[in-house]
A = this chain, B = another copy of it.
Amino acid sequence: MRKLTNLEYLLLFLVHARPASGYALRKQFATTPLGYYSDSPGSIYPALQRLKRRALLRAAKDPSPTGRRKTLFSATPKALAELRHWVHGPVTREEVRYDPPALMLRFVICAQLFGYKAARKFLSQLSSPVQEIIKELETYLNGPGKSLPLSGRLAVEQGLESFRAFDAWATRAGQELDRSSS
């Protein structure tokens, strides 16, 4: 069974939180930073169909007051299981390096579905791979990267700084979670 995409996990989460139609989900994407994860109907409608085929979502004709046809999607128990499994998986260096948006999704879903302690644990899991990446880039800059032209060095430093910022955010986020739960 193939892994789900970020968009699919997000849809699962949104629909689990509140059953919705494809159109309503699209609007949510269009009016919030969630839009980062999707742009077009060409990605979201097929994604919903795939989730339905997997029995993670159920589709129901909406008996809405107005005569408009609408398909309401709701989450099956399998959906919650899938989300739980996803957010509880380990945080790898690869994911931190190549897919930070997935981390943000996992963090939010973790916090919303499983509460403060789970979210706190998730954040603490980030630290080690982030540090690894930072060390890896620093080592490169102090070694073979010595011969880089200025622009190349600056580009690598941009990466470095973005991970440092991420680390600082994770620390602060942990503190805010602690504060808010006391």
A contact residues vs B (CB 8 Å cutoff): 31-33, 36, 97-98, 104, 107-108, 110-112, 119, 137, 140, 144-145, 149-152, 154-159, 161-162, 164-166, 168-169, 173, 176-177, 180
Contacts and interface: CB of A to CB of B under 8 A. Distances in A.
A159 B31 contact: no
A147 to B, nearest CB: 11
Contacts of A97: 36
4 nearest interchain CB pairs?
A111-B151, A165-B165, A154-B173, A104-B155
B107 A151 contact: yes
Q: Which of A137, A169, A176 has the most CB of B within 10 A?
A: A169
A98 B100 CA distance: 12
A108 B32 contact: no
A118 to B, nearest CB: 11
Nearest to A177: B150
Contacts of A151: 107-108, 110-112, 119, 177
Given A111-B150, A150-B180, A162 B159 contact: no
A149 B33 contact: no
Contacts of A119: 151
Contact of A107 (B110, B155, B180): B155
B140 A157 contact: no
A172 B104 CA distance: 27
Contacts of A177: 150-151
A151 B149 CA distance: 41
